[in-house]
Structure 1
């Protein structure tokens, strides 16, 4: 029960990131660049405090490459949500993240079963349906930014796969991402627009739903099978869409519903089955000779 509750809490935190960002930018309480920078800085501060309690140095963990992809994700995420509804944005983000990671696996030589290929095509079809021009289609520029954010998060996740201490690596990466964010803030000084409410939402997104959310997730992750950990994340875009409808007054359209079903269902078919590896011809057993 503890694992179930912590898993649910972490998924709610991840979905809340979309809701907090969309609320802040929809109401023009803060500009996108400042939101991203404050989110990264406050997330870094919270994570550093947590890992220092464990007497671990965050500077000794993480990499600059991973930090750059984390920054790219956060910046594109914020700019995309200036115009995207919360549910649509979360669905685009999730689809792009999974497509990036599955594509990287195929590039490394992993093989998919026939049902997994069908699931992948179904998910890609769902993304196409969501992006097709029409009455309820998302703004193309914002949609492309969110897809780019998904690629950034997927690349960041791939960089962190080999980390021995995921929490410390996350803290180190957040800490290293702050200089990138400060450079972007300095370059866009003329567009600064921060209200107390916008600042509070950005701090909440960084310190609580990002910083503490990742800590909770990495606490429960060792208790989940890889397929279960991947599958449970299917709930994030659906939770974000539901939250956007109930809390932000956004519409749940038929296009969003069918796209959500195709994307989450298709990716579930891919991650629920074990990966196939390239077949290697077995070597002939060595002969033994008696003297």
Structure 2
């Protein structure tokens, strides 16, 4: 019982960190306080610095897969949040995450129970309610970038679930991924006509995102996911869009209508179904 409570607490903390990333990115990028490339570079560099004491060993060839997945996720995430609001961006991101994880799980033979499939269906229905025509319009290119970011995050999650040393592995991924953002910094400089294209406030938000809600948040996430079934790993993250949308309404004055309420209820209900353990077969 105590172990389950600790797992729930850690998972809740990780979801809060994921939502925090969406809010910080939207606050910085939506207001034009920093370029997407500079935000990505500072975010990864700050994460690498805060995690350097727990790196354990210097990176090796096997660490590059996680670093590349992390870099693709961070870049797509940042460029998408130039136009998407916090809630919509998180919804697209984690729908792609869930699809990636479930497809891989199916290929590995990790079958879902009927209750699990019902939970997945309910959660996806919640996303449909939120994103169906008639809701808030969004940029298709930004949505595509966020979808690619979600697929990369799903791959990063799967890589982390299959290995130990979550703190050291996360530190090595950030250290390798940070230099990969330099071409994006150059992109920002070319577009804006000056280096980094970042205000002090934008750089601060990027650093907080990298050090706290990304670096430390990911360590928490990779500590907890080995304790969860693959379907649960996929579905639990769908709580992030709900938290991000509520945070966006409170701190960024983004609207929350009936779609967010109804869709959020379906998402959370679906998560509860996937968390339910299968009943033992009668003797």
Name the CA shift for 1:160/1:9 in 2 (closer, same or farther; >3 Å).
Answer: closer
Superposition pairs of residues 266-281 of structure 1, within 5 angstroms: 266-273=270-277
Flag structure 1 segments of 5+ consecutive residues without an equivalent: 275-291
Partner of 2:104: 104
Answer yes or no: is the 8 Å Cα contact 1:61–1:169 preserved in 2.
no
Query: 2:17 matched to which residue of 1?
Result: 13
Indicate conservation of the 8 Å contact 2:239/2:267, yes or no.
no
The two structures have a TM-score, normalised by structure 2, of 0.83
Is 1:159 aligned to residue 159 of structure 2?
yes
State how 1:72-91 maps to structure 2 within 5 Å.
72-91=72-91
Q: Residue 89 of structure 1 contacts residue 143 of structure 1 at CA under 8 Å; is this kept in 2?
A: yes
Gaps of 5+ in 2: 279-283
User: Given the alignment of the two structures, is residue 204 of structure 1 paired with residue 208 of structure 2, yes or no?
Assistant: yes
- Structure with higher Rg: it is 1
Q: Please state how far the C-alpha of 1:76 moved relative to its aligned partner.
A: 0.8
Shift of 1:189: 3.0
- Say whether the 8 Å CA contact 2:188–2:197 is kept in structure 1: no
Structural RMSD (CA)? 2.9
Equivalent-residue separation in structure 1 for 2:161 and 2:222 (angstroms): 12
In 2, distance between residues paired with 1:217 and 1:106?
22
Alignment of 1:117-132 (within 5 A): 117-132=117-132
Q: 1:11 to 1:112 in 2, by over 3 A?
A: closer
Cα shift at 1:187: 4.3
Q: Please state how far the C-alpha of 1:154 moved relative to its aligned partner.
A: 0.1
Alignment: residue pair count: 270
Q: Tell me by how many angstroms 1:66 deviates.
A: 1.5
The separation in 1 between residues aligned to 2:241 and 2:92, in whole angstroms, is 9
User: Which residue of 2 is the match for residue 36 of structure 1?
Assistant: 40
